[in-house]
Amino acid sequence: MDLSLPRGIRDIEPQEHLLYERIRQAFYEVADLFNFKMMEPAPIEYLSTLSAKSGEEVAKQIYSFKDKRGRDVGLRFDLTVGLTRYVSSRRDLKPPIKLACYGGAWRYEEPQYGRYRWFHQWDVEIFGSASTEADVEVIDVCDKILRRLELDNLLIQIGERSVVEEYIRKSLRVSSEEKLIELMRALDKVQRKTEGELIKEYEARGVGKDEVNKLLEFGRLHGAPEKMIQVVNELQLKSSEGLGRVWDSLKSRGIANVEYNMSVVRGIDYYTGLVFETVDTRNPQLGSLCGGGRYDLLPKVFGRPDLSATGAAGGIERVALLMTGKAEPRGVVFVAYTDSSLRKNAVKLASELRSEGVKAETALEPKSLGRQLEDASDLGARWTVIIGKRELASGELTLRDMNERNEERLSPEEVRGRLKAG
Amino acid sequence: MDLSLPRGIRDIEPQEHLLYERIRQAFYEVADLFNFKMMEPAPIEYLSTLSAKSGEEVAKQIYSFKDKRGRDVGLRFDLTVGLTRYVSSRRDLKPPIKLACYGGAWRYEEPQYGRYRWFHQWDVEIFGSASTEADVEVIDVCDKILRRLELDNLLIQIGERSVVEEYIRKSLRVSSEEKLIELMRALDKVQRKTEGELIKEYEARGVGKDEVNKLLEFGRLHGAPEKMIQVVNELQLKSSEGLGRVWDSLKSRGIANVEYNMSVVRGIDYYTGLVFETVDTRNPQLGSLCGGGRYDLLPKVFGRPDLSATGAAGGIERVALLMTGKAEPRGVVFVAYTDSSLRKNAVKLASELRSEGVKAETALEPKSLGRQLEDASDLGARWTVIIGKRELASGELTLRDMNERNEERLSPEEVRGRLKAG
């Protein structure tokens, strides 16, 4: 029988699952410290909801299908759409509404290194606050999660759509909305394409070489916030003021591993203000570990122009790749017996140990002591408690150190004390 | 814009999510104590895998659809099929293989009280052990999870398919496999239908009234294990021996809230040995909170007749219903300021408090102190720290007790000490 899985779909096996749980735990703890409320939006939505912002195009990139009554539905492709749909339908909630979610999502895209058709995200969103402070809080919570996971070499790359827009309008004298978007798309490609490729591509679309060059020059601007604020000031862009406020708040929050980067614009039709991405500078091939920004348009599409929105998502698969080997299961104690008549005693002792918080396992089938010790060793047990007839009669147990391969006869209380100590 | 969700699909909102997380946490801790390895099987499988055991019929009850390449796939309807498929494909794993999973699943069925089309389960499975000890370990781990959640009035109802089969073959002199299954189905209905209904239904299928009556009498047998072992012994059924071994192991594990119940047979085509269900005797309308048993046939269908299997699943939605109000979020500390020039100080103090493990929030928009105190109160904050100009100059902060509505001027160190103490 064919036991394979559909392309891009996989099991999360125990070793990787340990990492995911460590990330989830860190996320919950940190999001809670910031007083985000944890929830999970529906995994299946009407296609009309999923495509509300990005149009019918989205159906090609997601798992969409007709349910048994012929309605078009789809699996969520992120957590933001569902959370925004939820908040938009809840007019009783008082802003700011801070929501957080950890969960899986699905996209029907070609699998790549660290990217699957089923993937997991952490997600934080703040609805109903248009302030810079909300944008920075989102950056802050993501940064604290990654730090709690002891990741380093992290660089937070911050862009600001209003600065880019002002630059294009003012310095490139662009007034048409269409051309503005076209040029922002070019900027988005600065980190992935060569200058030559971009000039060629945009000339074909009727954008002059000089304009593209000027834009690329702007897009290459990146560096420490203080320096960049000065540079943008010199370009006489009014929107530079916002960059100053962001930096003030970042400093108050003790966040310094930041650069301002004019090429960071992210999803063009989606974001509306500050945007950011966090990368591991030693593992740039992984892409961003998390990213997000302000997206005031989505709640508007859902009928809530009063709710502005800012948020970010972290990619669990990619973060887990950086943590390989960083989560080990807790050690187990094996309880063995020398004679099958003592099995009950072993089952009982293992049960008592567990009730005292000690991870304990005993053979499920009757086995010789030798086979039991083999099992204990395969399970990576540091200690094996051996119940023997004579020892039991004298009220003692044998404690075997599996590493040192030596044994001691101890009272049950001594054994427990030893095992509870680790 | 229509913000509704497909029928039976919903968001898990914050209050309920807290309960789910408490259950998940208890499950992880307990399953780990028993040395189950945590993993998660794929959420999407080929339909051929999902229907391997139950046949094409299953497609009607699940979310099945064609992917973009026309392959028949479906959303998992439980966690057992995926775990069994995984283990069956991993010939390198040494039995017994103890796996555990917490996750969502989907069924296209009519929603009812406590039952949705998207639901969550905890799941434990032991592959490769045919022993009674494995069956009882599964019961044990489920019992310990429910106890850790402080649920009471729990009754574990245990049935044994081999006893039922022997009774039908011997006392009802049934030899045809077909009729055997027919009669087991009748037994399965004892708790849901009246005697009259069952006699009528089975007479129509050619089963005599006397036979049905005798079967129903047998099905009504239930009670304390010791008593029931005696009753079954008196019926001269050899398989009663197994019931004795189960009871021995339950006692060794300190589990006493058990009855043997001859009508508990569960999914007829699926289970092959011991079966059980745990109910809350004060909330019988909820149905079973968890249940499972031995299902040696599924690994066989997946090409692994060498792997026997026993396991159980718990219903998170139903367990959460019993825990309503039993999980409260941790309290938050609000950091307020008297003048917008002090906002930075508030952001900084909140950040410092969080780094010390105190859940802290500050206003994202500039607001009057009155509005900030209102927000703090809405958030249920017990304490608000107020940063004022004069106090700051003298190196002090104001700590407001939101319950008692009184304020104290304290040094920053005193404030932190107070807040860290809770």
Look up tokens 């079967």; give the residue. Answer: B215
Which residue type occupies A142? C
Q: What is the dihedral of CA B56, B57, B61, B66, to 10 degrees?
A: 30
In degrees and rounded to multiples of 5, residue A152 shows phi and psi of -135, -170
Q: What is the pLDDT of residue B371?
A: 96
Q: Which residue has the higher pLDDT, A290 or A326?
A: A290
* Arithmetic mean of pLDDT over chain B: 94
Q: What span, in angstroms and rounded, lies between the C-alpha atoms of A46 and B332?
A: 36
Q: What span, in angstroms and rounded, lies between the C-alpha atoms of A220 and A224?
A: 13
Q: What is the pLDDT of residue A327?
A: 86
Cα A401 to the chain's mean position, in Å? Answer: 40
Across the range B407-419, mean pLDDT stands at 94
Q: What is the pLDDT of residue B227?
A: 96
Q: Is the pLDDT of residue A355 over 80?
A: yes
A13, A38, A46 member nearest B17 (Cβ)? A38
Note whether B164 and B108 are same-domain residues. Answer: no
B13, B41, B253 member nearest A347 (Cβ)? B253
Is A359 close to B9, i.e. CB distance below 8 A?
no
Domain of B337: which CATH number? 3.40.50.800
Q: What is the pLDDT of residue A174?
A: 86
CA atoms within a 13 Å half-sphere pointing along the CA-CB vector of B305: 0
CA distances in angstroms from B406 to A117, B349, B371, B399, B401, listed in the order given = 55, 21, 17, 8, 6
- The string of pLDDT tens digits covering residues A186-198 is 888 877 888 888 8
Structural domain harbouring B223: 152-273
Q: What span, in angstroms and rounded, lies between the C-alpha atoms of A21 and A65?
A: 31
Q: What span, in angstroms and rounded, lies between the C-alpha atoms of B134 and B19?
A: 29
The encoded tokens of residue A398 equal 């044998």
Look up tokens 């037994």; give the residue. Answer: B187
> Which residues in chain B are closer than 8 Å to A86, comparing Cβ atoms?
11, 13
Do residues A141 and A169 touch, judged by C-beta distance below 8 A?
no
Is A108 close to B67, i.e. CB distance below 8 A?
yes
Structural domain contains residue A401: yes
Note whether B300 and B227 are same-domain residues. Answer: no
Structural domain contains residue A302: yes
Note whether B98 and B146 are same-domain residues. Answer: yes
> Which residues in chain B are closer than 8 Å to A66, comparing Cβ atoms?
65
Is B252 close to A13, i.e. CB distance below 8 A?
no
Q: What is the dihedral of CA B197, B203, B206, B212, to 10 degrees?
A: 70
Across the range B364-372, mean pLDDT stands at 95
Note whether B145 and B170 are same-domain residues. Answer: no
Structural domain contains residue B278: no
Q: What is the pLDDT of residue B413?
A: 94
Look up tokens 């995994």; give the residue. Answer: A43
Look up tokens 């960049």; give the residue. Answer: A228
Q: Which residue has the higher pLDDT, B88 or B56?
A: B88
Note whether A303 and A414 are same-domain residues. Answer: no
Look up tokens 């189905």; give the residue. Answer: B185
Q: What is the pLDDT of residue B327?
A: 86
Structural domain contains residue B284: no
Q: Which residues contact A132 (CB under 8 A, 6 or more apart)?
A: A242, A245, A246, A249, A274
Across the range A174-180, mean pLDDT stands at 86
CA distances in angstroms from B78 to A44, A304, A373, B276, listed in the order given = 17, 37, 35, 17
The encoded tokens of residue A167 equal 């630059």
Q: Is the pLDDT of residue A209 over 90?
A: no
- The string of pLDDT tens digits covering residues B269-309 is 889 999 999 999 999 989 999 999 999 999 999 999 999 99
The encoded tokens of residue B91 equal 């010939």
Q: Is the pLDDT of residue A422 over 80?
A: no
Share of chain A above pLDDT 90, in %: 81
Across the range A382-391, mean pLDDT stands at 96
Do residues A123 and A79 touch, judged by C-beta distance below 8 A?
yes
- The string of pLDDT tens digits covering residues A249-270 is 999 999 999 999 999 998 878 8
* Arithmetic mean of pLDDT over chain A: 94
Q: Are strands A406-410 and A397-401 parallel, antiparallel or unpaired?
A: antiparallel
CA atoms within a 13 Å half-sphere pointing along the CA-CB vector of B226: 3
Note whether A300 and A398 are same-domain residues. Answer: no
Domain of B220: which CATH number? 3.30.930.10
Could you tell me which chain B residue has the CA closest to the CA of A351? B253
Do residues B165 and B159 touch, judged by C-beta distance below 8 A?
no
Note whether A316 and A347 are same-domain residues. Answer: no
Structural domain contains residue B100: yes
- Structure confidence at residue A177 as a pLDDT band (50, 70, 90): confident
Q: How far apart are the first and last CA of chain B?
A: 45
The encoded tokens of residue B301 equal 């269908």
Could you tell me which chain B residue has the CA closest to the CA of A96? B364
Q: What is the pLDDT of residue A186?
A: 85
Structural domain contains residue B167: yes
Q: What is the pLDDT of residue B55?
A: 79
In degrees and rounded to multiples of 5, residue A155 shows phi and psi of -130, 125
> Which residues in chain A are closer than 8 Å to B347, comparing Cβ atoms?
133, 249, 252-253
Per the structure, the count of domains in chain A is 2
Note whether B1 and B136 are same-domain residues. Answer: yes
| Cis peptide bond upstream of B305, omega within 30 | no
Kindly provide the ipTM of the predicted complex, given to two decimals: 0.95
Structural domain contains residue B342: yes
Q: What is the pLDDT of residue B372?
A: 97
Q: Is the pLDDT of residue B28 over 80?
A: yes
Q: Is the pLDDT of residue B348 over 90?
A: yes
Q: What span, in angstroms and rounded, lies between the C-alpha atoms of B184 and B264?
A: 10
Note whether A118 and A18 are same-domain residues. Answer: yes
Is A354 close to B32, i.e. CB distance below 8 A?
no
The encoded tokens of residue B12 equal 């898990």
Across the range B163-179, mean pLDDT stands at 89
> Which residues in chain A are closer than 8 Å to B301, comparing Cβ atoms?
1
Cα B113 to the chain's mean position, in Å? Answer: 16
Task: Please indicate if any CB of chain B lies within 8 Å of the CB of A96.
Answer: yes
Across the range B178-186, mean pLDDT stands at 86
Note whether B37 and B139 are same-domain residues. Answer: yes
Q: What span, in angstroms and rounded, lies between the C-alpha atoms of A378 and A254?
A: 46
Q: How many angstroms away from the CA of A171 is the closest CA of chain B?
A: 32
Q: What is the pLDDT of residue B281?
A: 97
Across the range B120-135, mean pLDDT stands at 97
Q: Is the pLDDT of residue B142 over 90?
A: yes
Residues written for chain B: 422
The encoded tokens of residue B296 equal 């040696």
CA distances in angstroms from B288 to A105, A364, A381, B313, B404, listed in the order given = 30, 26, 36, 10, 45
3-state secondary structure of B152: coil
The H or E element containing residue B300 is helix B297-301
Give the DSSP letter of residue B135: H
Note whether A370 and A311 are same-domain residues. Answer: no
Note whether A67 and A96 are same-domain residues. Answer: yes
Q: Is the pLDDT of residue B422 over 80?
A: no
Q: How far apart are the first and last CA of chain A?
A: 45
Structural domain contains residue A185: no
Across the range B383-412, mean pLDDT stands at 95
Do residues A147 and A253 touch, judged by C-beta distance below 8 A?
no
Q: Which residue has the higher pLDDT, B332 or B115?
A: B332
Q: Is the pLDDT of residue B202 over 90?
A: no
Best of A364, A365, A371, A378 to mutate (most B CBs within 10 Å, chain B): A364
In sequence order, the β-bridge partners of residue B126 are B98, B310
In sequence order, the β-bridge partners of residue A387 are A337
Interfacial B residues in 107-136 facing A (CB < 8 Å): 108, 117-118, 126, 129-131, 133-134
Sheet bearing A397-401, strands edge to edge: A360-362, A333-337, A383-387, A397-401, A406-410
Q: What span, in angstroms and rounded, lies between the C-alpha atoms of A413 and A415?
A: 5
Q: Is the pLDDT of residue B34 over 90?
A: yes
Q: Which residues contact A248 (CB under 8 A, 6 or more apart)?
A: B344
